[in-house]
Each structure stands twice: as structure tokens, then as C-alpha cells.
Amino acid sequence: MSRKPQVTRASAPGKVILFGEHAVVYGRPALAVPVTDVQAVATVDAGRSELGVTVYAHDIGRTIDVCQAEAEEPLSLTVRNTLSALSLRLEEVQLAVHVRSSIPIASGMGSGAAVATAIVRALSQHLGCPLDTGTVSSLVYETEQVYHGTPSGIDNTVVAFEQSVYFRRGDPIAILEVGQPFWVVIADSGVPSLTRQTVADVRSVWQRCPEAYERLFDEIGAVVDTARAAIEGGEVGSLGPLMNENQDLLRQLGVSSPMLEGLIEAAQRGGALGAKLSGGGVGGNIVAAVTEESADRVRGYLLDAEAAQVIVTRVEK
């Protein structure tokens, strides 16, 4: 029998939705890509005292005794579900899990999914039974349900597989083939985007006006399919106008805000090819399509517009 490592470390990237948020909850497609410039990291080592698992969430200053935590506490739930998948009980292990993340929280970049993914990977590897990526994604989806209520499944899919994806709920995962690398700029407004709440708000209006909202969802789905063809065909210059079109539809869904619109305008003044909100909306992030040459200028304009954080990333897989 191989000796278990004393310390095990695993990580997971952030993610950004390029096209299709909100409509993806209603069966339309969406495109999302991993953002490796930011990462969640989980480190597992021997517990300090009695049996069980203690999670140290250093960025938010929390220490969670999994044995004592509420069943729906997300990090505790992630640990419990991982041990269950390994046919282990809390009473059989004595571990400490340290979590750190550079992914902005509640900003639409998949922070919760990345932290959960890192925990599942680190725990299963430390215990000598690494889980396959599909199982990791399924376990993280259970955590996502606590965070977001009725998640589409896109966050756990992109983060766990670390691949750009064309995602439609209920369909097999379709890896997005990037025909030519392209650049995007992601700007965090600094205001939390409470995805659970915005998804619930859209659902409430959809229930009152189903025909109008189904039409908007269909139009968003058509933009997604056009963008997929452009990315796979290497026609990256058309992504900007498609982002602008998607943003107009998101405005009609009621999930934009003056703050996000200000960042979108700043990106366009800086030379972005197009821009839109990304994720739940109201707060959180915007994403802008840029060229390699214009990226720094767009970044500067967004910082001048008081974006809390700006990430420039190259999408190549």
C-alpha cells in the first residue's frame, strides 16, 4: 500500500461567461471559458486534534468544524459529499483543509465552484482515491445548488474540466474548439452579484410574462450559436458586436445596472470591440472583447472608471 502524502495541494481556475447567461437556465446554450489568471487553492494536511475535518477559509476569516457545521454550509457540504463519494465517514479521518483564492467573490467568476473543485480534488487525492473530472463536476454542482438555488451547471463544468465549453443544460458537454486565440478583459465592479437573487428575479418576471421572456431567451441562444461558429472558425473580430447584441438583450431582461453600463461604456471608449455584463448581473463583472494591442488601453480606462479589479486574459482552449 502506498503511503499517503503529508500535504496535498490542488487548485482550480475562475471562469467567465462570454455569452448566454440567464437564458442558459432555461435550456438555451451558453459559452464560457476558464480564467487561469485567478485560482482557488486547497491544501490538505493532518488535523490538529480530534477526528473529523476542519476547513480554514483564510480569505474570509472563517474556521469551519465540519462535524458541527449546518448541513447546508457550502464548504462543509463539499467535504461531506466528497467523503461520501469515497465511502468514508467523518469519524474515520483527521484532516485540515486550508483554502485560499484570488478569484473575486460574488462577481460571476465562479469563485464558489472553484473553491469547491479545489477541495474535492485535494481531499480525494490526499486520501489516495483521485476522482475523475466528471465526478468532481457533479459533486461541485451539489455545492452550487446551495449557492445559487437553481444553477445551470455551467460553472462547475467549466471550472472542473478547465476547458472552454458550449453548454446546454441536459446535453453532453461540448468542448469549444478555439480556432484562433483571442483576448478579453474582465472588470470587477466591486459590488457583489448575488446570482441566486438575480436568477430568482428573472424567474419571477418570466412567470408573469413567459412569451416575452422566451422570445428574449431564444434571441440570446441565437447569439450564442453565432458566437460559437465565430470562435471555432477563428473569426474573433466578430465577437465584439455579438457581445453588444447580447448585452442589449440582457438589458431587456432587467439584469444590467448603471454601474455595469458605466464600465461597458468605459471599455468601449478605451477601444474594446464590444462589451457586456458577465454572470448574474446588477453587480459583478463585465467582459470586453479586445485585441492584444488594445488590451492595456482598455484596462486603463476601466481602472479610471473605478473598476475594483481588471484581468486581461488570453483564451486559447
179 burial (CB, 10 Å; 0-12 / 13-18 / 19+) is middle
At the top level of CATH, which class does the domain 8-174 belong to? alpha beta
Catalytic residue among 45, 132, 155, 225, which?
155
The answer to whether residue 171 is catalytic is no
CA distance 123 to 131: 10
Report the share of the chain in percent with pLDDT over 70: 98
pLDDT for 51: 79
Residues of the chain with CATH 3.30.230.10: 8-174
In the DSSP assignment, the letter for residue 115 is H
pLDDT bucket at 153, cuts 50 / 70 / 90: confident
The partner residues of 196 in beta bridges, in order of sequence, read none
CATH topology of domain 177-315: Alpha-Beta Plaits (3.30.70)
Helical residues (DSSP H) of 174-310, grouped into ranges: 195-208, 210-232, 239-253, 258-269, 295-304
Model confidence, pTM: 0.87
pLDDT for 143: 92
Residues of the chain with CATH 3.30.70.890: 177-315
pLDDT bucket at 105, cuts 50 / 70 / 90: confident
Stretch among 184-198, 213-227, 243-257, 273-287 having the lowest mean pLDDT: 184-198
Per-residue pLDDT of 21-75, as tens digits, reads 999 999 999 999 999 999 999 999 987 667 789 999 999 999 999 999 988 899 9
pLDDT for 2: 47
Q: Transcribe 7-47 into DSSP letters.
A: -EEEEEEEEEEEE-TTGGGGT--EEEEEEEEEEEEEEEEE-
pLDDT for 150: 73
pLDDT bucket at 5, cuts 50 / 70 / 90: low
